[in-house]
Amino acid sequence: MEKDKFNSLEQEIQALEQVLEAKKEALKSMPPEEKEEFIRSYTKERIETLEPKIKVGASLPPSEKIQPAPTPSLPSYLVTQDEKIKQLVNDLVELSEQKGLKAALNQLIKINQPFLIDAFHDTLTFKILQELKKRNAI
Protein backbone atom coordinates (compact mmCIF):
# COMPACT_ATOMS: atom_id res chain seq x y z
CA MET A 1 0.00 0.00 0.00
CA GLU A 2 1.38 3.40 -1.03
CA LYS A 3 1.55 6.31 1.39
CA ASP A 4 -0.80 8.99 0.14
CA LYS A 5 0.86 12.25 -0.82
CA PHE A 6 -2.38 14.23 -1.08
CA ASN A 7 -4.27 15.63 1.90
CA SER A 8 -7.39 16.75 0.05
CA LEU A 9 -9.42 16.19 -3.07
CA GLU A 10 -8.27 19.61 -4.26
CA GLN A 11 -4.67 18.34 -4.34
CA GLU A 12 -5.85 15.28 -6.29
CA ILE A 13 -7.57 17.55 -8.82
CA GLN A 14 -4.47 19.75 -9.15
CA ALA A 15 -2.33 16.69 -9.85
CA LEU A 16 -4.84 15.51 -12.43
CA GLU A 17 -4.79 18.96 -14.05
CA GLN A 18 -1.02 18.57 -14.48
CA VAL A 19 -1.53 15.18 -16.13
CA LEU A 20 -4.17 16.71 -18.40
CA GLU A 21 -1.90 19.65 -19.27
CA ALA A 22 0.75 17.19 -20.46
CA LYS A 23 -1.87 15.51 -22.67
CA LYS A 24 -3.55 18.74 -23.79
CA GLU A 25 -3.10 18.21 -27.54
CA ALA A 26 -4.43 14.65 -27.46
CA LEU A 27 -7.41 15.72 -25.32
CA LYS A 28 -8.45 18.41 -27.80
CA SER A 29 -9.36 15.79 -30.38
CA MET A 30 -11.02 13.39 -27.93
CA PRO A 31 -14.81 13.20 -27.82
CA PRO A 32 -16.34 13.95 -24.37
CA GLU A 33 -16.96 10.25 -23.65
CA GLU A 34 -13.25 9.46 -24.07
CA LYS A 35 -12.30 12.35 -21.81
CA GLU A 36 -14.68 11.04 -19.17
CA GLU A 37 -13.27 7.52 -19.56
CA PHE A 38 -9.74 8.93 -19.14
CA ILE A 39 -10.77 10.62 -15.86
CA ARG A 40 -12.61 7.48 -14.71
CA SER A 41 -9.53 5.33 -15.39
CA TYR A 42 -7.22 7.80 -13.67
CA THR A 43 -9.43 7.88 -10.56
CA LYS A 44 -9.69 4.08 -10.50
CA GLU A 45 -5.90 3.72 -10.75
CA ARG A 46 -5.38 6.21 -7.89
CA ILE A 47 -7.80 4.28 -5.68
CA GLU A 48 -6.16 0.96 -6.50
CA THR A 49 -2.68 2.42 -5.96
CA LEU A 50 -3.61 3.58 -2.49
CA GLU A 51 -5.37 0.38 -1.51
CA PRO A 52 -4.78 -2.63 -3.79
CA LYS A 53 -7.46 -4.70 -1.99
CA ILE A 54 -10.17 -2.43 -3.39
CA LYS A 55 -11.28 -3.27 -6.92
CA VAL A 56 -13.68 -0.81 -8.49
CA GLY A 57 -15.76 -0.62 -11.62
CA ALA A 58 -16.94 -4.19 -12.02
CA SER A 59 -20.62 -4.01 -11.14
CA LEU A 60 -22.12 -1.81 -13.88
CA PRO A 61 -21.49 -1.50 -17.61
CA PRO A 62 -19.71 1.77 -18.55
CA SER A 63 -22.81 3.24 -20.20
CA GLU A 64 -24.56 3.31 -16.82
CA LYS A 65 -21.77 5.06 -14.95
CA ILE A 66 -21.28 8.75 -14.30
CA GLN A 67 -24.71 9.78 -15.50
CA PRO A 68 -26.05 12.95 -13.88
CA ALA A 69 -28.94 12.27 -11.56
CA PRO A 70 -31.60 14.48 -10.00
CA THR A 71 -29.09 14.84 -7.17
CA PRO A 72 -26.30 16.28 -9.35
CA SER A 73 -23.45 14.82 -7.30
CA LEU A 74 -24.62 11.19 -7.46
CA PRO A 75 -24.61 8.67 -10.33
CA SER A 76 -28.06 7.85 -11.66
CA TYR A 77 -28.16 4.32 -10.25
CA LEU A 78 -27.97 5.73 -6.71
CA VAL A 79 -31.21 7.69 -7.13
CA THR A 80 -33.28 4.63 -6.24
CA GLN A 81 -31.11 3.70 -3.26
CA ASP A 82 -31.95 4.27 0.37
CA GLU A 83 -31.19 7.78 1.66
CA LYS A 84 -28.73 6.27 4.14
CA ILE A 85 -26.62 4.88 1.28
CA LYS A 86 -26.73 8.18 -0.61
CA GLN A 87 -25.67 10.06 2.51
CA LEU A 88 -22.85 7.60 3.17
CA VAL A 89 -21.48 8.06 -0.36
CA ASN A 90 -21.72 11.85 -0.05
CA ASP A 91 -20.02 11.69 3.37
CA LEU A 92 -17.16 9.65 1.87
CA VAL A 93 -16.70 12.18 -0.94
CA GLU A 94 -16.76 15.01 1.59
CA LEU A 95 -14.17 13.17 3.69
CA SER A 96 -11.94 12.84 0.62
CA GLU A 97 -12.32 16.59 0.02
CA GLN A 98 -11.33 17.46 3.57
CA LYS A 99 -8.76 14.80 4.47
CA GLY A 100 -7.79 13.18 1.18
CA LEU A 101 -8.63 10.08 -0.77
CA LYS A 102 -6.74 7.78 1.61
CA ALA A 103 -8.96 8.77 4.56
CA ALA A 104 -12.11 7.97 2.58
CA LEU A 105 -10.66 4.66 1.41
CA ASN A 106 -9.85 3.70 5.00
CA GLN A 107 -13.54 4.17 5.86
CA LEU A 108 -14.58 2.13 2.82
CA ILE A 109 -12.31 -0.73 3.89
CA LYS A 110 -14.01 -0.80 7.29
CA ILE A 111 -17.46 -0.90 5.65
CA ASN A 112 -16.31 -3.55 3.12
CA GLN A 113 -19.25 -3.35 0.69
CA PRO A 114 -18.31 -3.57 -3.02
CA PHE A 115 -21.41 -1.61 -4.06
CA LEU A 116 -20.32 1.37 -1.95
CA ILE A 117 -16.81 1.18 -3.38
CA ASP A 118 -18.22 1.44 -6.90
CA ALA A 119 -20.66 4.17 -5.91
CA PHE A 120 -17.88 6.16 -4.25
CA HIS A 121 -15.62 5.77 -7.30
CA ASP A 122 -18.39 6.86 -9.67
CA THR A 123 -19.48 9.80 -7.52
CA LEU A 124 -15.90 10.96 -7.01
CA THR A 125 -15.18 10.68 -10.74
CA PHE A 126 -18.33 12.66 -11.56
CA LYS A 127 -17.33 15.36 -9.06
CA ILE A 128 -13.79 15.57 -10.46
CA LEU A 129 -15.13 15.74 -14.03
CA GLN A 130 -17.45 18.61 -13.11
CA GLU A 131 -14.63 20.47 -11.38
CA LEU A 132 -12.25 20.01 -14.32
CA LYS A 133 -14.95 21.23 -16.73
CA LYS A 134 -15.49 24.30 -14.50
CA ARG A 135 -11.77 25.03 -14.68
CA ASN A 136 -11.75 24.44 -18.45
CA ALA A 137 -9.13 21.72 -17.97
CA ILE A 138 -11.05 19.33 -20.24
Task: Tell whether 3 is covered by a domain.
Answer: no
Domain count, the chain: 1
Its sign, for the CA torsion 8, 10, 13, 15, is negative
What's residue 69's pLDDT? 36
Does residue 1 fall inside a structural domain? no
- Model-level pTM? 0.66
pLDDT computed for residue 135 by the predictor: 87
Q: What is the DSSP string of 87-121?
A: HHHHHHHHHHHHH-HHHHHHHHHHH--HHHHHHHH
How far CA 37 is from CA of 2, 9, 32, 108, in Å, comes to 24, 19, 9, 23
Q: Residues 91-136: pLDDT tens digits?
A: 999 999 999 989 999 999 888 888 888 899 899 988 888 888 888 8
Whether 45 maps to a domain, the answer reads yes
Domain of residue 74 covers 9-134
Which tens digits make up the pLDDT trace of 4-37?
A: 677 888 888 888 888 888 887 787 788 888 888 8
Q: Packing angle between helix 101-111 and helix 114-134, nearest 10 degrees?
A: 160
What's the pLDDT at 4? 62
